[in-house]
Amino acid sequence: MAPSATEGSVALMKKATSQIGWEIQELLTKRIVIIDGAMGTMVQRHKLEEPDFRNEALANHHKPLKGNNDILSLTRPDIIYDIHKQYFEAGSDICETNTFSGTWVAQADYALESLVYDINYEGTKLAKKAAEDVFKATGKRKYVAGAMGPTNRTLSISPSVERPDFRNITFDELVDAYAAQARALLDGGADLLLVETIFDTANAKAALYAVQLIFEEEYDEVPLFVSGTIVDKSGRTLSGQTGEAFIISISNANPMCVGLNCALGADEMRPFIEALGKATDAYVLCYPNAGLPNTFGGYDELPPTTGRNMMEFARDGLVNVVGGCCGTTPDHIREVVRQVEGIVPRKRGKTDREHMLIAGLEPLKVGKLSNFVNIGERCNVAGSRKFCRLIKNGQYDEALSIAKAQVENGAQILDINMDEGLLDGPVAMARFCNLISSEPDIARVPLCIDSSNFAVIEAGLKTSQGKCVVNSISLKAGEADFIHKAKIIRRFGGSVVVMAFDELGQAADRDRKVEICVRSYNILVKQVGYNPNDIIFDPNILTIATGIEEHNNYGKDFIEATKLIKEQCPGCRISGGVSNFSFSFRGKEFVREAMHSVFLYHAIKNGMDMGIVNAGAMPLYDDIPKDLLKICEDLLWNLDPDGTEKLLEYSLSHSAGAKAEVVVDEWRSFDVQRRLEHSLVKGIDKFVVEDTEEARIDRTLYPRPLNVIEGPLMKGMSIVGDLFGAGKMFLPQVIKSARVMKKAVAHLIPFMEEERAAQLLLTGEVGEESDRYSGTVVLATVKGDVHDIGKNIVGVVLGCNNFRVIDMGVMVPCDKILQKVVEVKADILGLSGLITPSLDEMIYVAREMERLEIKIPLLIGGATTSKQHTAVKIAPRYSEPAIHVLDASKSVVVCSSLLDQTRKLEYVGDIDEEYEEVREDHYENLRDKKYFSLEKARALKMKVDWKDGYQPCVPSFLGSRVFEDYDISRLVPYIDWKPFFDVWQLRGKYPNSRFPKIFNDETVGKEAEKLFKDANAMLDSIVKNRLLKAKGIVGFYPANSVGDDVKVSDEHGNYGGTFFGLRQQAEKELNDCFNCISDFIAPETTGIQDYIGAFAVTAGFGCDEICQKYEEEMDDYSVIMFKALADRLAEAFAEELHERVRVELWGYDRSEVLESEDLLKIKYTGIRPAPGYPVQPDHTEKKTMWDLMKVKEKTGIELSDSLAMLPAASVSGLYFAHPQSNYFAVGKIPQEQIEDYSMRKGQSVAETERWLSINLAYEPTEE
């Protein structure tokens, strides 16, 4: 937290500050303005010592203060005042306050956070006094700039090489620190604020966010100057941004002046100042160092040289404000004043009104002449199963490869979406964006922060130094919410995507799209102050060719609306999610890509600027086959009512492996049940009525008309559902199947009504209208969500299957939904939602149903929903069935099963069992288990009598030995083939589960033999042609245990490191022994010298190159085979080397004689556990091995940020020789041991919890 102002400080309040901004602006138009030189250089001349940095209040301060120049404003105000006065007298128009490190973040190094207000307030007062005194003496007006330095933390760069996603400061903390500093500077009377020496634009954005916030809420505005720092001749900041990208990223704050200072001398800075001036419409500021530092860190550039450099900058029209930074003095400034006198200042550039300007590390301009902008779509948990799986599994490094591939394939903007019910969206977004910052190849493009949860959007904006696109906001929750969010995004500097939704819902037709977008535009431009070029409209690309007639105009309406919106909203851009357009043909990618290409061909011509697409996946418009092109064109413009059927036929006939239709309808010879199933699956309605009638009159098979529906018709629809769920059937086919079903049911309805009437006549009861239906289903898109296409399709499918469907539409509040359920006596309620917040609303509805004792099944559906979320979050809150329905075709089977009293009990029971398993899996690491205290577990460690004469074997050498090019033919006999077959998912059944008995398995045996033959052929080629290079290292070192750890010495007897151990604590059946690796090494207290070994081997050098060749030949089979064999050879290397260690290199069991089968069964003495595995699950212990043996330097085997070994086909571990050493699993670890382990390792508990997350026996506290 930021410190509060100390006693005696001026109270903070909203008030007017400097009213002289117009004077400064006027001065900038008339002449070159002079800013002062270095404060630090002048302070050094006084040769101050520790007492100078202390006053009476700080006399006993516990930390050294020398070097904290900012505190001198309180302890030596005479010196600071005199420096300011000297610069003003030398001709400076503006002097900076002595507050470069005046935030509580920077002052924390000196434990002076509590003095931040006083440092800034008094520092400003000193500068103001000097300005006033010089004004009185000379009559020349002087100004004070409140200096706000970059702090000693960075938001874009991790301080930890091992953890690129880690940051030691947050955006909110920096905003808090800068806001506190700015208030004090303004209270002290600063005439302007200067955010300077920016090496990380994200830090600057935090400062500018704070300043904008206090200008909005507390203080009148003063001029804002912003100055960045280019660190070398690459022209980039330390965090990697180009100068132009830097300007784009901070331009939202509307600084009066922007420029560069520090790091470089004038000669090196010139090209970057010139480029910066071309990129901004603000005045340009430049105050370089006095040349480059000499070998002693000093500066040799003399005042005349500085003056001449600044004169040349001014003469060439590059600058408006000049001065000096490190190494400059009042003499330098005096010379600058003399040489720039009379030179006309630079003219301000014109505001770019033609382009949308956004940036990552590099700028992106989008204008009328720009090509279509591809927004990469695959970093979206809702749009990519692979990306979602990787993020949910915490495999962020691998997820980054998806982002990199998107950029490499042409994505100019990278869309990131973390909206998934079981993800902590803000945390996931922040972590992934932080990782992107560490990858320049990805970070060079702007990010599109994509979420329906505004907290996730803010998390993304807080981690990006560039100017992002935000996707999205809309008017669906009203104008106040819309304006509130727009202002926040504008304060972050983001361009904004506005969806065509309003309080009435989603715009589907052309006129509604235009109406909503024009209204949104006027609010953003006139009320929020948005630059029109930063507004992007998404007028909703909706799915065509669904088989539902009202969807047929969606493509045409979007394109026509695009043209009208661009005409009525000058400067705006148009975007959209292109994959939605073809969703009805999911699985038929060649058809979808052609549809996308045709759609974009026309949309771009009519003004569409950008879109979320799979970059590189679409064919050129002219390359689309003419017959397919004609179908796609007709569908887009709704010119052919049979277009959907034609495209479906085309997709089937052109699928891989599609066969020509047999002319003779063989299926007509099937029995009636199979004929009905065939009609439904194939969508053939030609014979369905006669086949249904044939079934109806067969009273032996179907005593009642309803039995025909429950029998062959429902079985056929169940098959349709399974095929659709597996991606083997597509939406138009499902719609056709539903229509066939409808025809069959329609034929049976009169007979069912006749039967019902006869029954009512006998009983005297009068039936209700709903009695003719299979059941009543209420469908609703929950409050806050406006997506309903999927729900509509469910309604069609259920309606075609004789269900009474009551569709309540979108954004329906819970109370309205439940009122309708009661009113219509619904049998089932179905809730739909696409965006993540809908999941919480569904939970709320379930709770309310439970509270109101509504006893009907609840179905959950929509893109953002999942079986896991339903099982974990919804089902436990509702005592009736709560079931996730994957898609429309499954809805019929689910509803029918729930309403059939003879099947419901079993069906619901199966669901309950399945969901219980899902919950068990989810909470596996959270279950309560019983644990011994760490003290007791240590007391019950493995008993070894170290005094019984055991003498550790001395290895044949100490230190390490490298195996440079190991003979791979030696490794082949040591290959364990079972994991190889597991890779190929060939698993025999007992007793034929292992190699070589797998060849006898009835199911997989023959395929396993073929695979084994191919593998050996490739293995022969690897050995013969030396396609892989095996390298390794082994080391042996003196070691002794100290508690749960193993202390190691190097070969010279010096301290080599410590291997830290984790001890079992979970109660066991026999609670007699709780193991830790240290138990296998003689304790230091015994005086016995023991030893430990370590190794790292690989068979992976050369693997990537060979696999790349196979990939170029599109030979996936060989790629998988080669990688699998490389893995097996690496494991074989570890096995063969361990044998050599036992009998030769260490030699603790020279008499060992074992067969290969005995090796696999671990019948040898000693163990070779690996860090990251059950014996020691902490991967960070690998770093000790790598440091001890110099593994990377000697073998080239590296560790990734997540401590995976590179090459991938590598194995490493430790060697323990004691005959009682054995493999065990540490298991779950209580918090007590985590804290103890963290203290021993000298790292934070949070860090330990991160690396051992799957082993924690508790739920860690969220930060």
- Residues whose CB is less than 8 angstroms from the CB of residue 917 and which lie 6 or more positions away in sequence, other chains included: none
Cα–Cα distance for residue pair 1110/1120, rounded to 1 Å: 10
Cα–Cα distance for residue pair 557/578, rounded to 1 Å: 14
Instruction: List the Cα angle 170/171/175 in 5-degree steps.
Output: 120
Cα–Cα distance for residue pair 2/25, rounded to 1 Å: 33
The tokens describing 799, both together, are 């309606």
Residue 478, SS3? Answer: coil
Cα–Cα distance for residue pair 367/384, rounded to 1 Å: 30
> Which uninterrupted H or E stretch holds 215?
helix 201-217
Residue 743 has phi, psi (to 5 degrees) of -60, -45
Residue 234 has phi, psi (to 5 degrees) of -70, -20
Sequence-separated contacts (24+) of 1042-1048 with Cβ below 8 Å: 1042/1078, 1042/1083, 1042/1084, 1043/938, 1043/1078, 1043/1240, 1044/938, 1044/1076, 1044/1078, 1044/1240, 1045/1078, 1045/1240, 1046/1077, 1046/1078, 1046/1081, 1046/1092, 1047/1084, 1048/1092, 1048/1188
Closest by Cα among 1064, 1096, 744, 805 to 932? 1064
CA 744 distance to own-chain centroid: 49
| Count of C-beta atoms within a 10 Å radius of residue 927 | 9
Cα–Cα distance for residue pair 1030/906, rounded to 1 Å: 57
Cα–Cα distance for residue pair 246/1058, rounded to 1 Å: 45
- 785: annotated active-site residue: yes
Cα–Cα distance for residue pair 480/853, rounded to 1 Å: 36
Cα–Cα distance for residue pair 1225/1217, rounded to 1 Å: 19
Q: Which of 838, 896, 1041, 1212 is catalytic?
A: 838
Cα–Cα distance for residue pair 1112/1109, rounded to 1 Å: 5
Give helix then strand counts, H and E, for the chain: 44, 33
Q: Is 808 exposed, middle or buried (0-12, 13-18, 19+ CB in 10 A)?
A: middle
DSSP string, 116-143: HHHHHHHHHHHHHHHHHHHHHHH----E
Q: Which of 450, 785, 807, 827 is catalytic?
A: 785
DSSP string, 1007-1063: HHHHHHHHHHHHHHHHHHHT-SEEEEEEEEEEEEEETTEEEEE-TTSSEEEEE----
- Residues whose CB is less than 8 angstroms from the CB of residue 297 and which lie 6 or more positions away in sequence, other chains included: none
Q: Does residue 330 have a cis peptide bond before it, meaning omega lies within 30 degrees of 0?
A: no
- Residues whose CB is less than 8 angstroms from the CB of residue 228 and which lie 6 or more positions away in sequence, other chains included: 197, 198, 199, 201, 204, 237, 243, 246, 258, 259, 260, 261
Q: Is 692 exposed, middle or buried (0-12, 13-18, 19+ CB in 10 A)?
A: buried
Q: Which of 787, 884, 1138, 1218 is catalytic?
A: 787
- Residues whose CB is less than 8 angstroms from the CB of residue 647 and which lie 6 or more positions away in sequence, other chains included: 545, 585, 591, 631, 632, 635, 732
Cα–Cα distance for residue pair 108/115, rounded to 1 Å: 10
Cα–Cα distance list, 372 to 499, 608, 674 (Å) = 19, 8, 51
Cα–Cα distance for residue pair 741/751, rounded to 1 Å: 16
**Would you name the residues annotated as active-site residues?**
785, 787, 838
